[in-house]
Homo-oligomer: A and B are copies of this chain.
Amino acid sequence: MKPTTKILLSRGVEEVIGQEELEKGLKSKRKLRVKHGIDPTASELHLGHAVSLRKLRQFQDAGHKAVFLIGDFTAMIGDPSEKESLRKQLTLAQVKKNMKTYLQQAGKIIDLKKAEVVYNSRWLKKLQLADILELLSKFSQSQLTARRDFAKRLKAGLEVAGHEQVYPVMQAYDSVMVKADLELGAYDQRLNMLAGRQLMEKMRMKPQAVLTTPLIEGTDGSKKMSKTSGNYIALEEGPKEMFGKIMSIPDKLMSRYFELLTDIDPIPLKIIKKEPRNAKLFLAKTIVGYLHDQKTATKAMIDFVRTFSEKKSPSDIPVVKIKKRQLPLIDLLVGIGVESKSEARRLIEQRGVRIDGQVKDDPRGRIKIKNNSELRIGKRKFFKLNT
């Protein structure tokens, strides 16, 4: 089904700049050139990247041209946006290695056959000093330097290096080179994308519109999903692991994940509230479904439910059937409904978890399940474990 303009410009959208022009473009018969860039600074893409990639796919489905830009040159510099310290510069070899699987991973979401895939080294590596000074002259110095992320670093006594401010100018030049009608990206790319809009205007081109998507929180439920924070779910994750990780997100994140990572509409807030576990199973199945396939997702769900199936006992102590004889304590807790892995870890570390009366305080511990064991969490929650 072709997404409507309303869906394109509002669902999973933080902000649209240049909306009026963009709407005109969408109304016309013209195929818009929709740019989205990713720097191959790591080897894995994750659900955080999926939010923008899915938006790009929506534009493809609406009949527009996806210009998927691999920042093989910019990756070597490193985008300083929202970074807390100077990024280590990558070598060409590292970047090439990272690039290898990038397309394959992005191809799980966008239609690569219909996309125009470009590498920014093609034009950036050829730029000479005179060209660069010309590009820099299109910006005021304060635009390049008076940035919240830089100010934060300087306040913390950290340095901002002279080359970091050139990053937005390079990304802006990419937009000039691919003649983008629209650039979309996560909210932390706002400044870089606006630089593109400005440069195009100064170079007397039609300035690109800018669409930002929200930054999604990771499995811990608080920090932005990122490799550095270790709270990410990789697009390449195996189905079982991916299913389990999605099941481990805090309930409060569910409606956000539904909005940003699925097409399900209207978002089933009622179900989320009434039957959070079922809603989460549905969420996990949907995401695993498009990142792997429906059959695999169904199998992952059945496996998960089998491992952590839950019944109420007559005395109102829930009886939990555990298929596995041995498993990590954290997985057990998340499986029976603790909000997240980090919450489970907290409970264990605070000595709030007992099995048959014995405190289990090693968050990395595995446990053997004996039939009819009693699991107690905190003061009031009891479970009977059955094998």
Contact = CB atoms under 8 A, between A and B. Distances in A.
A316 interface: no
Interface residues of A, number: 36
Contacts of A89: 137
A126 to B, nearest CB: 7
A138 B129 CA distance: 17
Task: Count this chain's copies in the assembly.
Answer: 2
A129 B132 contact: yes
Interface stretch (A96-104, A162-170, A250-258, A284-292): A162-170
A142 B128 contact: no
Interface string A47-80: 0000000000000000000000000010011000
A36 B145 CA distance: 31
A127 B169 CA distance: 17
Contact of A145 (B76, B124, B145, B161): B145
A115 interface: no
A133 B162 CA distance: 8
A136 interface: yes
A90 interface: no
Contact of A138 (B124, B130, B145, B162): B162
B136 A129 contact: no
Given A127-B128, A133-B77, A162 B169 contact: yes
Contacts of A163: 132-134, 136-137
A269 interface: no
Contact of A162 (B127, B137, B161): B137
Interface in A230-247: none
A135 to B, nearest CB: 8
A270 interface: no
Contacts of A137: 89, 161-163
A217 B325 CA distance: 91
A380 interface: no
Given A77-B133, A145-B145, A140 B127 contact: no
Contacts of A166: 132-133, 136
Contacts of A161: 136-137, 139-141
Q: Give the most central of A132, A140, A163: most B CB within 10 Å.
A: A163
Interface of A: 73, 76-77, 89, 124-130, 132-134, 136-145, 150, 154, 159-166, 169-170
17 contacts: A73-B130, A76-B130, A77-B133, A89-B137, A125-B128, A127-B128, A132-B163, A133-B166, A136-B166, A137-B161, A137-B163, A140-B161, A141-B159, A141-B160, A142-B154, A144-B162, A162-B169
* Closest CB pairs A-B (n = 5): A136-B162, A136-B163, A139-B162, A141-B160, A133-B163
Given A133-B163, A136-B166, A140-B159, 19 more contacts: A125-B128, A126-B129, A127-B129, A129-B132, A129-B170, A132-B132, A132-B166, A136-B161, A136-B163, A139-B161, A140-B160, A141-B145, A141-B150, A141-B160, A141-B164, A141-B165, A145-B145, A162-B165, A162-B169
